[in-house]
Structure 1
Amino acid sequence: MLQPLPLLAEAGSLGDIRKAAEAGKDASIKRLREWIAFPSIAAENRNMPEGAAFFAELARDAGFADAEVVPTGGHPGVFGTIDVGATRTFGLYFMYDVKQFDPAEWSSPPLEGRLVEQKGLGTAMVGRGAGNHKGPEATFLAALHAIRAAGRKLPVNLVLICEGEEEIGSPHFRELVTTPKVLAALKTCEGVFMPTPLQGHDGSVTIELGAKGIVELELVVSGEKWGRGPPKDVHSSLKAMVDSPAWRLVQALQTLVTPDGNTPAIDGWFENVRKLTEREKAMIRNAITPTSETDLKDAIGVTHWIDDLPFDEAAIRLAEQPTVNIEGLVAGYTGPGGKTVLPGRAVAKLDLRLVPNQTRAEAEKKLRAHLDRHGFTDVEMNVSGGYDPTETAEDSRLVRAQIATYTKLGVRADLNVRLAGSWPGGTFTQPPVSVPVSRFGLGTGANAHAPDEYYVIDSIKPKVAGLVDATMGYVEFLYMLAAIK
């Protein structure tokens, strides 16, 4: 029989809630499976109004009786509150959108939510959004169901805000947050957190004190806009006397980074970058102690870090360095075999990761100025989304409550400077909301944005939470938020 994590198995003061969570496990699995079967994909404009309505119903069922769909200039969000008259109020950040998927790349149907054995981990639900982020969000909702089923009252008031554009850079999230009734509710919060399965395979977690910002955009070169080259694909034999938009795009891209492609070379890019302190570097070195460098390299399929750096220096660079990344590069014919054309249009999809004290506005301005200064005024720059970096103080009540919860549950927790990925927490840390943010959660999952994404339901690792233990982790956190001084 599967054993729960230490202390989570004990009756204690929350034993009645645990019994309710165990009794509601099948319903929780069904809830997650049905949500996975209904994908909302912002990039494809797929099921967006319907996805918001679907999640609003999930929220109402979990206790957010006033949950409503809130329109924006893009895809809608969802907003709701639970006011039990508690002394403290905290916010929740959710997302209902997921990444695109190609079923042919999956070993299990991406919308089926099938339970599959994951070697060395246990039984996991496989499906798009299972780990990122429907699984942990559904688990948090399960915690609310369990508290109510046990006849308990929530220890804190909650404000829920859920967007449908996280996977495209949250272009309308600030608009959602500053909607008057949403902003008024958020201003009552002492902090905002995002449910996330943070446990590694050894059971440890990392508490992030921030996250990088991001700008997502396209650079486009076309014969029509350039005034040179063909306005549409022509025969490649004409290259001897006709300019190529594809090569022009390549030349523009080469100016954005150093010759090895590893360091941004955009004019003025590092002017406001804040270097890590020695304390922050020490924090990173400590945080990677439980991590096997070999296992990490194997997991992502690499044999070297940039510049052959030692693991600790590579981890420091990961947190400290802003990046210019090519997500996709498309021009002309990309099907089987060859097709001798000279493309009339070329597109590069980029993401720019930002660190404190860079801003999205600064990054966009500097990229445009750089292209113009280097003679690429014709290169179109189409920004689709993005937001600033996030920072939260380690002595904030939100972070201290996480540390205290993990400590109580016997889970190793290490502080780290920031997540190398991005989420729009900066929208909460900056005015007009101005509160701490973080991610919290037990459990584990993997393959976000990739085939065979999964979220562990029944763990065979003694230190890693399955669904019920992860549910109780959120329960414990809510009670700790109420109690922490």
Structure 2
Amino acid sequence: MRKFWLMAAAAAVLSTPVVAAPSAKDRAALSGAVKAAHATSVKRLQNWIALPTIANMGINHKEGAEYMRQLALDAGFQQAKVITTDGVPGVFATLDAGAPTTMAIYFMYDVKHYDPAEWSSPPLEARIVDRPGEGKAIVGRGAVNQKGPESAFLAMLHAFKDSKTKLPVNLVLVAEGEEEIGSTHFSQIVLNPEVKPAIEKAVGVIIPSASQGPDGDVTLSLGAKGVVELQLISSGEKWGRGPKNDIHSSNMARVENPAWHLVKALNTLVADDGYTPAVEGWFENVKPLTARQKQLIAENAASTDEAKLKASMGVQHWIKDEDLRTSLERLASQPTINIQGIVSGYTGPGGKTVLPGRAEAKIDTRLVPDMSKDEMVAKLKAHLAKHGFGDIEVNVTGGYSPTQTDENSALIKAETLTLKNAGINYTLYPRSAGSWPGVVFTGAPLNLPAGQYGIGRGNGAHAPNEWFLIESSNPKVAGLDEQAMLYADFLYTVADLAKKK
């Protein structure tokens, strides 16, 4: 840890503006508190991983919210309460430090489901393992997405509390337990009559994230695509052309098959190339990349090892065999319609000669500015009806519109200046191809800058053996303690920039 921050401090003195920081005494106190509580911070993360909140399976909705509420109180928030919604509850907490500036923090504590048989260690055990060339990491569901980075933020708050150091900003926390199913009811939490006025005071919103690559560089995304998750269901009963239940496959000679009906409907959603959305009006409100956004992508491409990137994804070619820069432009600018999976009839070992009465496809669509969730759902339904598939049920399970934040906003300036003063290289990127519900903050009525922020490293979100680095053997990459200290520096930077405004 000491080596990491000595390198950072040297780089900062030579190359970047100086902002108000904690006194040498306060910084030493904070750093000492972080180090002293390292084992406790790791155990806190392990305990949190052991309690999975899985929204799409109805697991630990109430328990997850109550656990999050207690985590906030333990970290120094003076009040924290569970906010009910029409679906999964969330948490709202405030920490009044008597400061003139307020910062908002977004947490998600739900996780994707998992199959223990696919993991090298039990996914809820949060076992600590050695990663050759990187250090010690926790392996567990939710380790990097997002309980690890959020635990680093909590470790920072505990350091302020333990060292009796005054926070430079007030904090407002909003947390949800259904991000993994599209944050269906999250806006009800944020726009709650008690919550909204508190968030409106904030200069911006961050979600703690582990954003460092293997070389220690950070990618700061200025936005994220929106997402809509849907089920398309074809049933003989609703179609009126196939069986109500599975029947013997010999009847295919005289009874139509709902599975084929669904396949034909899916085929109309994309062009013959297999990836370009073909829904009428889908590109009507797509906002092209600006010259500045293309410049940022070109800079990112120039610093990326394309061969390593392809190897990490297990792919050999980009669409149309495009070069890396072009593929990155496509990744940031293009809306998509993706099939996650198709289920129908018998899928067990061997064969079972049935004609299924029902077929279901799980799909997701990724949206870019200026598309919206409601617009896209309406266009999809209209498209299916126009092409003779109006009987197919469209079940929207979650989603939200895209989010975007100006790189000249006070939030992004605070983020970049903190990284500069820590001597950490970073690149700006127009928007992440993944999604988070930032539009709840960046859109009306709040219109706040918001984004993912943090250092540290991890991988495997939504996959087996998800991991998060807690002790780094690479001086350029942060472990848990270094992440906590960067969040402290960030809060001081936010306070200083607000004071100078």
Same fold by TM-score, threshold 0.5 exceeded?
yes
Deviation, 1:3, is: 3.8
CA contact (8 A) 1:6 1:409 kept: no
SS in 1 for 2:488: helix
Match of 2:357 in 1: 344
SS in 1 for 2:47: helix
Deviation, 1:5, is: 4.0
Match of 2:175 in 1: 162
Q: Distance in 2 between matches of 1:286 and 1:213?
A: 24
- Percent identical: 53
Q: Unpaired runs of 5+ in structure 1? A: none
The reply to whether residue 273 of structure 1 matches residue 286 of structure 2 is yes
Q: Distance in 2 between matches of 1:20 and 1:144?
A: 10
- Distance of aligned partners of 1:2 and 1:453 in 2 relative to their CA distance in 1, 3 Å threshold: farther
Match of 1:223 in 2: 236
Task: Please list the CA deviations of residues 147-193 of structure 1 after superposition, one character each: whole Å capped at 9, or x if unmatched.
Answer: 12222111001100000110000000111111100111111111111
Task: Please list the CA deviations of residues 114-159 of structure 1 after superposition, one character each: whole Å capped at 9, or x if unmatched.
Answer: 0011232111000000000000001100000011222211100110
The reply to whether residue 4 of structure 1 matches residue 17 of structure 2 is no
Deviation, 1:8, is: 5.8
Deviation, 1:7, is: 5.0
The reply to whether residue 411 of structure 1 matches residue 389 of structure 2 is no
Q: Distance in 1 between matches of 2:493 and 2:194?
A: 27
Structure 2 residue identity aligned to 1:343 = P
Match of 1:98 in 2: 111
SS in 1 for 2:234: strand
How does 1:165-314 map onto structure 2 within 5 Å?
165-314=178-327
Structure 1 residue identity aligned to 2:370 = N
Q: Distance in 1 between matches of 2:167 and 2:430?
A: 31
Structure 1 residue identity aligned to 2:4 = P
- Distance of aligned partners of 1:89 and 1:2 in 2 relative to their CA distance in 1, 3 Å threshold: closer
Match of 1:150 in 2: 163
Q: Unpaired runs of 5+ in structure 2? A: 11-22
Match of 1:443 in 2: 456
Q: Distance in 1 between matches of 2:192 and 2:69?
A: 17
Match of 1:423 in 2: 436
Task: Please list the CA deviations of residues 234-271 of structure 1 after superposition, one character each: whole Å capped at 9, or x if unmatched.
Answer: 11111111100000000000000012221111000000
Deviation, 1:289, is: 3.0
CA contact (8 A) 1:8 1:469 kept: no
Task: Please list the CA deviations of residues 91-131 of structure 1 after superposition, one character each: whole Å capped at 9, or x if unmatched.
Answer: 10101100000000000110001001123211100000000
Match of 1:57 in 2: 70
Q: Distance in 1 between matches of 2:474 and 2:161?
A: 29
Deviation, 1:365, is: 0.7
The reply to whether residue 29 of structure 1 matches residue 42 of structure 2 is yes
- Distance of aligned partners of 1:25 and 1:9 in 2 relative to their CA distance in 1, 3 Å threshold: farther
Task: Please list the CA deviations of residues 37-87 of structure 1 after superposition, one character each: whole Å capped at 9, or x if unmatched.
Answer: 011100110011001101110110001121111110011000000011111
TM-score (norm 2): 0.95
Q: Distance in 2 between matches of 1:477 and 1:296?
A: 30
SS in 1 for 2:194: helix
TM-score (norm 1): 0.98
Match of 2:51 in 1: 38
State which drifts further: 138-147 or 2-11.
2-11
SS in 2 for 1:4: helix
SS in 2 for 1:280: helix
Q: Distance in 1 between matches of 2:159 and 2:136?
A: 22
SS in 1 for 2:4: coil
Picking from 74, 99, 110, the partner of 2:123 is: 110
Deviation, 1:2, is: 8.1
Deviation, 1:336, is: 1.0
The reply to whether residue 389 of structure 1 matches residue 402 of structure 2 is yes
State which drifts further: 274-283 or 136-145.
274-283
RMSD: 1.3
SS in 1 for 2:168: coil
The reply to whether residue 477 of structure 1 matches residue 462 of structure 2 is no
Picking from 126, 136, 152, the partner of 1:139 is: 152
Structure 2 residue identity aligned to 1:457 = I
